[in-house]
A and B are shown apart, each in its own frame.
Chain A
């Protein structure tokens, strides 16, 4: 199985500032035939279901604010949330869909307001 490791486990950021969440995979998620990274990011607000933010490592899901951006390739990926808003308080998960059917998720990163 591909192991996904997020860092940090939690972070507190001031309103208006930038939050950075990292995700490392135990093997490359870059598929050479299409040059795509099989990595997605989700936001789970308290008491809610997860919501897709980013797929193909950097493609933003329609309707997601452009404050959310994804980057990285191979085994190292980053979710960046700029101009942090109160509604961004949530747990964020990365998800690899390279190794099908054994999709795996990171352990989650809890984002709070400082």
Chain B
């Protein structure tokens, strides 16, 4: 069974940093692109970042470019999202998602339970 378990969320002041982790299991992690998608509670879904299978390609939404860094450790089956210079508008539930096609960016066939990031003074 595919499992994605996020951790690392919490309350942080504006300008602060957090590092989210997503531990994957139940599949060959190194064969899948991984993304982060966020959702303000009660609102819609917004793509944040993605990383290819070996970590050599990363992309970011304009709203987080230069502040967030995605990375992965295929030996530990984990994907990370380092979030710096956090803003109030970054407050959201952050979901780790697996792309549905092997070695490709595509639809998201598995979602984690999400981790809540709250940026507030």
Give A contacts to B, CB under 8 Å: 40, 42, 49-52, 55, 61, 93, 95, 97, 100-108
Contact = CB atoms under 8 A, between A and B. Distances in A.
B107 A93 contact: no
Interface string B29-62: 0000001000000001111001000000001010
A103 B85 CA distance: 24
B95 interface: yes
A108 B44 contact: yes
Given A50-B108, A55-B107, A108-B44, 5 more contacts: A49-B95, A50-B111, A95-B45, A101-B59, A103-B35
B47 A102 contact: yes
Interface string B96-117: 0000100001111111111000
Interface of B is mostly: strand
Contacts, number: 52
A101 B61 CA distance: 8
B46 A105 contact: yes
Contacts of B100: 52, 55
Interface of A is mostly: loop
A7 B44 CA distance: 14
Nearest to B50: A101
Contacts of A108: 44-45
A52 B108 contact: yes
Contact of A40 (B59, B105, B107): B107
B44 A49 contact: no
Nearest to B96: A49
Contacts of B105: 97, 100-101, 103
Nearest to A105: B45
Contact of A93 (B44, B95, B113, B114): B44
Contacts of B106: 55, 97
Contact of A49 (B47, B50, B113): B113
